[in-house]
Amino acid sequence: MTSLRGLLACALGIAALAAPVPSQADTLRLLTWGDYAPEAVIKKFKEATGIDVEVTLSNNEDMISKLRATGGAGFDLAQPSQDRILGPQTDFGIYKPLDVSKIDTSKFIPDLLDASKKNTTIDGKVYGVSHLWGTSGLVVNKAKAPNLKTFADLCSDQYKGHVSMRLKRTALFGMAFALGDDPFAAYGDKAKYQAIIEKAGAALAACKKNVKAYWSGSDDLLTCCAPARSMPPRLGIRQASS
């Protein structure tokens, strides 16, 4: 995998408490992404606490819609990406703040914990701490594409019809870095940041002819792009998380 150094993607999962209505003490109602709550982890949690876990799989926008529809009720813990906490909370008030004093912060990477707290603090209250983090990168069959190194390389005519791409902000950032720009460094300059993103978006739009399918999750990727015996392997953009 060719990774994009320094690019924290949407896989940076942030835990946030939702809802004013508590669940029964013997069940934790979790609203999360697929693969974020493996059965093995749920089993260990049950063994350690005696509490069952009721998992509802979702994605960022669906989580926000669900919590808005219920006024935040129905779930005890939600895990949207960190960039979908501050805005939705400010606009809709769908989360409850975390009591950080009750969290064993020694289990966290200090810099990651500090960054996630900073990015999810509203009026002095922390609404999220880091849960999962990862990088975005390219998954490449080097036998078919030995010289492919960046997002921009995916737009070469030789890869027409052989690219699968995650249609998310991470692709914009990946293309921006490939074009020599740093969107993170431009965060404090709205006009400069907008110009970088528009430039990357235009490059991705021009690359559309090369894309076999866009995807939003691992199931989509496997459905659209698992190589058949008679077809050459695809070049894919995916997100790796830990």
Question: Residue 234 carries which DSSP code?
Answer: P
> How far is 112 from 135, CA to CA, in rounded Å?
13
112 and 149 both lie in a single domain: no
Q: By residue range, what is the domain housing residue 228?
A: 136-241
| Per-residue pLDDT tens over the stretch 144-183 | 899 998 999 999 999 999 998 887 788 899 999 999 999 9
157 and 237 both lie in a single domain: yes
In the structure, what pLDDT confidence band is assigned to residue 39 with cuts at 50, 70 and 90?
Answer: very high
109 and 229 both lie in a single domain: no
| Per-residue pLDDT tens over the stretch 122-138 | 999 999 998 887 777 78
Q: What is the CATH number of the domain that holds 39?
A: 3.40.190.10
For the chain, how many structural domains are there in total? Answer: 2
In the structure, what pLDDT confidence band is assigned to residue 7 with cuts at 50, 70 and 90?
Answer: very low
Q: Taking Cα atoms as reference points, which of 201, 183, 200 lies closest to residue 192? A: 183
Higher pLDDT, 9 or 141: 141
101 and 33 both lie in a single domain: yes
- HSE-up (13 A, CA, CB side) for residue 143: 3
Question: For residue 10, is pLDDT > 60?
Answer: no
117 and 38 both lie in a single domain: yes
11 and 40 both lie in a single domain: yes
Q: What is the pLDDT of residue 156?
A: 94
183, 173 in Cβ contact below 8 A? Answer: yes
The model scores a pTM over 0.75: no
**Tokens 């400069």 sit on residue:** 192
Q: At what angle do helices 190-206 and 169-178 cross, to 10 degrees?
A: 90
Which domain-ending residue is among 132, 158, 189? 132
128 and 141 both lie in a single domain: no
94 and 209 both lie in a single domain: no
84 and 152 both lie in a single domain: no
Which domain-ending residue is among 132, 166, 186? 132
Which domain-ending residue is among 102, 132, 162? 132
